[in-house]
């Protein structure tokens, strides 16, 4: 393989604190050198970055990929196309598929399916309970051994306090993190929008925001009992973030992520029954959006995940309460996160950290950093290039973006997976 020099770039690697102009040398699919004053080895291909940012390939810690069982919505191959366009080179896939990822062979299968794409590492979550049904403990040890990065029942909350206690306790023995969809199921059942004036006006069945805080409070208390590692996915309310902030301060190993809709949109996006903005958890009020944005900056939130949930037209062209929740998020992950940077609330290196070394640390993988000798998973982007999101014109199969029409600044110019250019 020819050496490649990507020069005239701003190197940003939050894991090592690097933020400086320079160049990066790729040799044999790995990062051979980086920094300023780098030479050009004989015969090396040279790419002029024209001042753009070169950072680690993004690590998306939460996405549905449609396999197995939902291939009409998305396949790993189509998700890989969207991911490459979004600068994502590693992606943690949720296990509440059909069948659920509760068998070691399925974990190995998903990893292999990722390798087949040549552009995207699939980091499989495994089911915390058999079939993600919340009733019996899955074979956490065997699943971990097969390569599961963490345990979760995906979009299903682990509702039983007894079951959650068992999972946290048992997973601790294997050093694995447990990821919860924080929503008390009996309070959320049948709900389609966050509780309040808008849901009342539209006559939609509502979910009170306290359904999130109640689950977060319960699980933090359980963690105090069991020890271990607990992670809350797509946190959307200020109240839940306050609980997590306090738990972190008390020394518990509690972490959380959020997704771009929760800091970029509020409930008004559902407007006149716009089902593309129907998400789970539902979009919240403006005060919660601001609280999520603040928690990105203050360190309470450890990662930003795409929360990609591919849905097809038949899932969405339904009356609001019947429509499936979820939004496509791979291609917009970086740019919507950068909107927080352009808005002045978030430092660029912090934003990139939330998309690279932050999630990589939680998942216990080595990706997400520009280390010499590491695989050259790279993302080159122009933080100021403007574009407009258009449902129907997104890369990949899933087009159900809640950001349809949103003007954004920040565009991926090139993506490399193990030194091979996979986008741009």
Partner 1 sequence: MLDLAESYALLNRSGKTQRDLLRGRTLINLFFEDSTRTRTSFELAGKRLGADVINMSVSTSSVNKGETLLDTAATLNAMNCDLLVVRHGDSGAPALLARKVDAAVINAGDGTHEHPTQALLDALTIRRRRGRLEGLTVAICGDVLHSRVARSNIFLLSAMGSRVRVIGPPTLMPAEVERLGVEVFHDMRAGLKDCDIVMMLRLQKERMTRGLIPSFREFFRFYGLDAEKLAFARPDALVMHPGPMNRGVEIASDVADDPIRSLIKEQVEMGVAVRMAVLDILARRNSRND
Q: Is residue 13 annotated as part of the catalytic site, yes or no? A: no
Separation between Cα atoms, residue 90 and residue 377, nearest integer Å: 9
Separation between Cα atoms, residue 160 and residue 102, nearest integer Å: 19
Give me the 246-285 binding string for partner 1, x by CB under 8 A, dash otherwise: --------------------------xx------------
**Cβ of residue 216: shortest distance to partner 1, in angstroms?**
21
Report if residue 174 touches partner 1, rule: CB under 8 A.
no
**β-bridge mates for residue 254, sequence order:** 230
**Cβ of residue 292: shortest distance to partner 1, in angstroms?**
21
**Cβ of residue 237: shortest distance to partner 1, in angstroms?**
15
Separation between Cα atoms, residue 72 and residue 46, nearest integer Å: 40
Query: Toward partner 1, which CB reaches closer, 318 or 385?
Result: 318
**Helical ranges in 35-160 per DSSP H:** 76-85, 104-117, 140-145
Report if residue 185 touches partner 1, rule: CB under 8 A.
no
Query: Toward partner 1, which CB reaches closer, 135 or 189?
Result: 189
Site for partner 1 in 310-329 (CB under 8 A): 314, 317-322
- Contact, 269 vs 221, CB < 8 A? no
- Options 16, 200, 268, 388; binder of partner 1; rule CB under 8 A: 200
Query: Toward partner 1, which CB reaches closer, 17 or 272?
Result: 272
Separation between Cα atoms, residue 369 and residue 252, nearest integer Å: 26
Burial class (CB in 10 A: 0-12, 13-18, 19+), 200: exposed
CA nearest neighbour of 26 among 380, 422, 381, 372 = 372
Report if residue 243 touches partner 1, rule: CB under 8 A.
no
**β-bridge mates for residue 35, sequence order:** 23
Burial class (CB in 10 A: 0-12, 13-18, 19+), 231: buried
**Cβ of residue 278: shortest distance to partner 1, in angstroms?**
11
CA nearest neighbour of 215 among 237, 246, 197 = 237
Give me the 206-225 binding string for partner 1, x by CB under 8 A, dash otherwise: x-x-----------------
**Cβ of residue 206: shortest distance to partner 1, in angstroms?**
6
**Cβ of residue 327: shortest distance to partner 1, in angstroms?**
18
Separation between Cα atoms, residue 247 and residue 239, nearest integer Å: 13
The active-site residue out of 60, 219, 307, 377 is 307
Query: Toward partner 1, which CB reaches closer, 151 or 276?
Result: 276
Separation between Cα atoms, residue 236 and residue 265, nearest integer Å: 11
Q: Three-state SS for 19? A: strand
Report if residue 197 touches partner 1, rule: CB under 8 A.
yes
Query: Toward partner 1, which CB reaches closer, 180 or 237?
Result: 237
Q: What sign does the CA torsion over 130, 133, 135, 137 have?
A: positive
Query: Toward partner 1, which CB reaches closer, 277 or 334?
Result: 277
Report if residue 389 touches partner 1, rule: CB under 8 A.
no
Separation between Cα atoms, residue 397 and residue 75, nearest integer Å: 8
Number of shown-chain residues binding partner 1 (CB under 8 A): 21
Separation between Cα atoms, residue 347 and residue 371, nearest integer Å: 22
Q: In this chain, which stretch among 7-15, 34-42, 193-201, 330-338 interacts with partner 1, using CB under 8 A? A: 193-201
Site residues (CB under 8 A) for partner 1?
195-197, 199-206, 208, 272-273, 314, 317-322
Positions marked active-site = 307
């Amino acid at each position: 393989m020819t050496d490649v020099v990507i020069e005239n770039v701003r190197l940003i690697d939050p894991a090592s604190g690097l933020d400086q102009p320079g160049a990066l040398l790729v040799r044999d699919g790995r990062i051979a050198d980086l920094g300023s004053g780098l030479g050009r080895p004989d015969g090396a291909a040279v790419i002029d970055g024209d001042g753009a940012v070169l950072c680690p390939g993004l690590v998306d810690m939460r996405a549905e990929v449609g396999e197995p069982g939902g291939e009409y919505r998305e396949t790993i191959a189509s998700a890989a196309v969207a991911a490459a366009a979004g600068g994502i080179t590693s992606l943690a896939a949720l296990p509440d598929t059909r069948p659920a990822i509760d068998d070691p062979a399925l974990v190995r299968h998903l990893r292999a399916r990722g390798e087949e794409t040549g552009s995207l590492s699939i980091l499989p979550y495994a089911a915390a309970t058999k079939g993600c049904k919340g009733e019996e403990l899955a074979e956490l040890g065997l699943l971990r051994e097969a390569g599961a990065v963490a345990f979760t029942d995906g979009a299903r909350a682990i509702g039983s306090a007894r079951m959650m206690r068992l999972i946290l306790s048992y997973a601790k023995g294997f050093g694995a993190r447990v990821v919860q969809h924080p929503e008390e199921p009996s309070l959320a059942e049948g709900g389609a929008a966050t509780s309040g004036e808008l849901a009342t006006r539209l006559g939609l069945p509502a979910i009170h925001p306290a359904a999130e805080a109640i689950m977060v409070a319960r699980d933090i208390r359980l963690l105090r009992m069991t020890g271990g590692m607990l992670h809350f996915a797509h946190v959307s309310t200020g109240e839940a973030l306050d609980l997590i902030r306090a738990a972190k301060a008390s020394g518990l190993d509690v972490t959380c992520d959020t997704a771009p809709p929760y800091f970029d949109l509020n409930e008004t996006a559902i407007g006149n029954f716009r089902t593309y903005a129907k998400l789970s958890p539902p979009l919240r009020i403006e005060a919660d959006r601001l609280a999520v944005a603040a928690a990105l900056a203050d360190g309470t939130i450890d990662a930003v995940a795409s929360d990609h949930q591919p849905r097809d037209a038949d899932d969405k062209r339904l009356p609001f309460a019947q429509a499936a929740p979820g939004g496509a998020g791979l291609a917009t992950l970086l740019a919507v996160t950068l909107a927080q940077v352009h808005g002045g609330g978030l430092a660029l290196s912090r934003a990139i950290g939330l998309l690279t070394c932050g999630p990589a640390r939680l998942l216990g993988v080595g990706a997400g950093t520009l280390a010499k000798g590491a695989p050259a998973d790279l993302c080159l982007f122009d933080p100021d290039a403007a574009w407009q999101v258009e449902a129907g014109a997104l890369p990949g199969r899933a087009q159900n973006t809640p950001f349809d029409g949103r003007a954004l600044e920040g565009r991926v110019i090139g993506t490399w997976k193990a030194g091979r250019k996979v986008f741009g």
